[in-house]
Each structure stands twice: as structure tokens, then as C-alpha cells.
Amino acid sequence: MIYRCLIVDDNLIDRHLITKCLNKIDGIIIAAVCADGFEASKVLADQHIDILFSDIEMPYLSGIDLVKTLNPHTVTIFITSHKDYAVEGFNLNVIDFIVKPLNFDRFYTAVNKAIAYITLKNIARGDSGAGNDKEVSGNTIITAADCFFLKDTNGITRVKYSEVFYIESLGDYSKVFTQNGGKHVTLVSLKSMQRQLPEHQFKRIHKQYIVNLFHIVTITANEVVLFDKQIVPINTAARQEVLELLTNNKLLTR
């Protein structure tokens, strides 16, 4: 499948760097490259764009304001020097947020996340009628004490609770990360996942993430480290609760 992309950044060097990165990825067409949000809004009004790569602080129209005008079919990846905008970006259901300087590996991960999201949206349209981008309920089916089934891009997949490391929100969809590098993108929101998974084992520790408590190795001020060395952010409110659940009065003290 071909994905039409739009780049918007007021910095010439950054525009060239994003262009260079996209040219390395198969299936990508750069529909336009813009120097500000106002110019980009004209392109978006006239053309179908699958993925928008946008800076945030730009003249005339900011990336935040630009995203607020988007049609729901366009997926956004913010690329910015200002990480303070991360919360606002995720509140707008931006698919990913990259802090400059741009690294190709991190960029490639973000592009793959956007493609997975678009793929699931297309499946949703095929299963539920064109234009229906809402959550399809009941796609996670709990059938046994140690496992569940989920509908993903490969069909219906059986997943053991013990094999799940963490789950990442993709807006109305979720990506389940399992042992041995397994990844499953499913038509179930993180909120719905949280409601259906065992409370004693899975905890939502961030707006974007649920983790398997049994796989946590280390808790820092704002992150948890899992057995597979994956690092997941944790918010302040959840941190104390997770600490209490894990240590259960077994924390060694002076």
C-alpha cells in the first residue's frame, strides 16, 4: 500500500532531514513539503494525506492548531524541539511525538506505528462499513483463566496473560507487546483493554500505557523497566500505587 505524506516545518534543515528519512522507507510518497502551518492547511484542504509530519512552533499557524483542523483520516506525528508539548499532543490523539534532533531508528518506529494504525482503520471500515472509525466492541474475548483472544491484523490470536509485557494506546486501537518481540495491533481501545484485563496483573500507569505488573523490574521517578528491558513512562499518581502493589510491605528499609 502507498501512503501519502505531508512534511511541515519552518526549519529548512529539518525539512530536508525528514525528507531524507522518508525517502528510505518503501511505500511512502511525499505529497508536499511546507514551511509553515498555513501553507500546509491549503495542501490538506486540496489533497488526501495519510500521514502528517509536523513541527509545533511555526509562524502563522502552529502544529497544534493545524492538527485541530485535520480530517480524521490523517494521522499525525509531531517532530519538535519542545517536549513540553507532549501531553497536549497526545490529548489530540497524535500517533507519536518525536523530540529533535531526529534519529532515523526512532523516526522509523513512528512511521511503522502510523502505518499499523491506518491498517487497523482500514480493517474497521471493511468490517463495520465505510467511514466507521469508532471502536468495535467485543474484539477481546476472555475465554480461559490464563489467556485471551484478540482480533488483530492476522485474524484471531490467542495470547497468554503471562506473555504480555505492556500495551500501548493507538487512539481507538491498541498495540500489545509480548515476549520474543511479538506485537499485535487490535481494534480495541486502551480503556476497553483496561476494563477486560485482570486487575491484579495489569495496571494503567500512563495515559498511553498499561503494563503487566509481573514483568516490572525497576521503577524510577517517571519510568518502569520491564524484564525485556523495555522502558515505559509512568505518571506520578500511578507510581505510588504500583510501588505499594509490588512491594506489599516487603521493601527493605534501614
List, for residues 153-183, the tens digit of each pLDDT value.
667 788 899 999 999 998 778 889 998 888 8
| Range 140-247 classified under CATH 1.10.3720.10 | no
- The answer on pLDDT for 200 being more than 90 is no
pLDDT at 121: 73
Rounded to two decimals, what is the model's pTM? 0.60
pLDDT tens by residue, 231-241: 999 998 898 88
Q: What is the mean pLDDT of the chain?
A: 83
> Cβ(75)–Cβ(117) under 8 Å?
yes
3-128 and 140-247 have identical folds: no
> CB-side exposure of 143: number of CA atoms within 13 Å?
12
DSSP state of 160: E
> Cβ(184)–Cβ(157) under 8 Å?
yes
Confidence bin at 134 (pLDDT 50/70/90): very low
In whole angstroms, what is the distance from residue 222 CA to residue 242 CA? 12
Going by DSSP bridges, is the β-strand pair 209-212/216-219 parallel, antiparallel, or unpaired? unpaired
CB burial string 167-177: b at 16+ within 10 A, e below:
bbbbbbbbbbb
Residue boundaries of the structural domains of the chain = 3-128, 140-247
The CATH fold assigned to 3-128 is Rossmann fold (3.40.50)
